[in-house]
Amino acid sequence: MTEIQLYNTLTRQKEKFEPIDPNNVRMYVCGPTVYDYAHIGNGRSAVAFDLLFRLLRHVYGAENVTYARNITDVDDKINARAAQEHPGMELNKAIREVTERTANRYQADMHALGNLDPDLQPRATDNIAEMIKMIETLIEKGHAYQAGGEVLFDVTSMADYGKFSNRNLDEQQAGARIEVEEHKKNPGDFVLWKLSDENQPGWDSPWGNGRPGWHLECSAMTERYLGKVFDIHAGGIDLVFPHHENEIAQSRCSHGTDRMANYWLHNGFLQIEGEKMSKSLGNFYTIADLLETTSFGNRKWPGDVLRLGLIMTNYREPIDFTLKRLEEAEKNLNRWKATNLKLGLDFVEENRAEYEALGPCSKLLAHLANDMNMSGVLAELHRHAGGDREHNARRLFGSMQLLGLVTFDAMKAYQAAQNAGPQHEQADEIEAKIQARLDHLNAKEWGEADAIRDELTAMGIKLKDGKDEAGNRITKWEIA
């Protein structure tokens, strides 16, 4: 069995991955708060841990891996968006309108980026009872208290609170999205439950009609779906504190365990052209923007190009998401796809089962298992793309398939498009110009041939000169 090495934030070192139960490998990733469409930084986290999910399925078997990613559908940002977009509508209905629309868009975006569906996608609002039960346990054990219309976690009740994020308790600040007031025992105490007014969603509880704090949902849902201690917990580096620190505190103190998960993984930040992404700078891009508008680079970007652009750098490192990066990703993808066809793969239905069963290059798999070492992975893709045997194409396609960069259906569509040739409203005129240029080339009339090439370039046409099997000069074209 392939040995997997992962960098563990819990221990600050790379470790051999040893699941609690190889027949029941469990992973949890912090998912979206569905108040708005996901941005490309959110997409990076989802793609990075989809890659890990695929690796785990390949090594342990798909039936032996459970991947849960939550959907946060109770949050003050959601409340504000619902009130803004649906004034006059009953609040709970308005909230449902917002969360359904944004959650559906999130699923569509994840599919476009080549992500597999997690096995479980629990919603916060479907787990309120579990959250209330956990709060009751924390109060009973002396880790939480009620004050000022809230239930708060007492950070001083946990001897090593702050250890995960390497923070001194005296420096802690309140770790919740919900604003807290001046009634806490300690500055770092964070909200478990907060009372709701008539303009806020609420649920009945022993402490009154209210709603949970942000951190609580992940603790309650991981216990319900994965157990009190599970294998992997992952998310963005910005979640180390306060979110993951507080998840650990709630879960450990509630369950009486020394840990919540054995391995903690975090992906690095994403910048846009060297700058922090923000709406104020005008460089804020949702995944939908990149897929469906020309706002970045004056063109739309295919999902597989975005995916490769996101995984070209190791998941733990920061990414500078640039136009140049996407252009490089697209160039590589086109080369790899073309190699699959050039070296003999034929994506017709009778080959589907055989091709979908193709596995990755063993060297590439070793790099992927080494904390998802993408420089090594890319080197192996390039090596097989530079080969000259059908074996290289099989390994290339099997590897791309594991990485989520291509599917049989995608290659089938690509092959059909290549066979059909480029589509252009002036195709007949273009073909005539190309033939005229070939006549000039064969007559060694270089100036005339160059002039026609310049005309075609101005029309947005890229030429590829070559020779057929008989050695005759031919020219193919594509839309630049």
177: Cβ contacts below 8 Å, ≥ 6 apart? 75, 76, 77, 213, 214
Q: Which of 71, 35, 88, 85 is nearest to 199 (CA)?
A: 88
Helix axes 390-402, 40-60, angle to 10 degrees: 120
User: Does 433 show up as a binding residue in the annotation?
Assistant: no
Residue of 107, 33, 40, 20 whose CA lies nearest to 323: 40
CA atoms within 13 A on the CB side of 75: 21
d(CA 65, CA 63): 6
Contacts of 321 (CB under 8 A, 6+ apart): 40, 270, 271, 272, 273, 309, 310
Residue 391 assigned ligand-binding role: no
Q: Which amino acid is at 158?
A: M
Chain centroid to Cα 136, Å, comes to: 35
Does the annotation place 279 within a ligand binding site? yes
**30 assigned binding-site residue:** yes
Closest CA to 199 of 50, 358, 80, 326: 80
The 10 Å Cβ neighbour count of residue 207 is 18
- Asked whether residue 184 is marked as a ligand-binding residue, the answer is no
For residue 175, give the nearest of 114, 240, 225, 118 by alpha carbon: 240
| β-sheet bridge partners, residue 176 | none
Q: Which residues pair with 267 in a beta bridge?
A: 236
Measured between alpha carbons, how far is 127 from 399 in angstroms, rounded to an integer? 38
Closest CA to 403 of 55, 67, 117, 40: 55
Which among 174, 255, 182 is positioned nearest to 215, based on CA atoms? 174
Residue 206: closest CA among 138, 156, 122, 143: 138
Q: What is the DSSP letter of 286?
A: B
First to last CA, the chain: 45
By C-alpha distance, which of 410, 281, 285, 390 is closest to 345? 390
Per the annotation, binding residues are 30, 218, 243, 247, 279
Per the annotation, binding residues for Zn(2+) are 30, 218, 243, 247
Per the annotation, binding residues for ATP are 279
